[in-house]
Chain A
Amino acid sequence: AQTVTQSQPEMSVQEAETVTLSCTYDTSENNYYLFWYKQPPSRQMILVIRQEAYKQQNATENRFSVNFQKAAKSFSLKISDSQLGDTAMYFCAFMKGRVSGGYNKLIFGAGTRLAVHP
């Protein structure tokens, strides 16, 4: 069974600074995807960034980037130039690679609460 672990329950950062959120996972699969989702106080889960396990290049989306270490089963999220609107819960999630006709559930970590201070 796959598991996702986020070891930092809470993090805080000053506006405009950089913060890194940690995530490790356990799987015997070779084909899988990893995601970071953001859940602000409004509750809606928003996809921040995604990474295909077969790609060696780390994904980047504007101020958000990941450090994907497949051998170490580590998938950290770096937020650069933090903004007040980045304040939210951040969830790391794992999904097995697509199988024709099969289902694809997300397995989430417990989350990291990030507070961005002015």
Chain B
Amino acid sequence: ETGVTQSPTHLIKTRGQQVTLRCSSQSGHNTVSWYQQALGQGPQFIFQYYREEENGRGNFPPRFSGLQFPNYSSELNVNALELDDSALYLCASSSASEGLGEQYFGPGTRLTVT
């Protein structure tokens, strides 16, 4: 297992609500990436945070936002939830200066929007 943790494990929300997902990165890693994995599909890149700033973004609307804290942990916030936001949300940590920048994933948060 990696040293990346995520909370909560499961979450059920109603359409229109807001949700916050949390991620603690592996020791020594300063970069956190978030991915959305719809059922039966590969993960899709949402955004990446480095040095507490968004460092790159995929094709997701602004209602998907994030934060990175000085200890490199991170949050993913989703506003105005839609049914299509139901998915497994994965965070991955990496080092900006070591190795290939390969990413190590947490166990994910399963979000269900009803």
Contact = CB atoms under 8 A, between A and B. Distances in A.
B48 A105 contact: yes
A3 B40 CA distance: 17
Given A35-B102, A50-B102, A44 B45 contact: no
Interface residues of B, number: 29
Given A50-B102, A98-B100, A98-B101, A107 B45 contact: yes
Given A50-B100, A110-B41, A103 B55 contact: yes
B42 A47 contact: no
A75 to B, nearest CB: 15
Contact of A33 (B35, B50, B55, B102): B102
B100 A33 contact: yes
A111 B41 CA distance: 7
B105 interface: yes
Given A45-B90, A105-B48, A106-B43, 5 more contacts: A45-B43, A95-B100, A106-B45, A108-B44, A110-B42
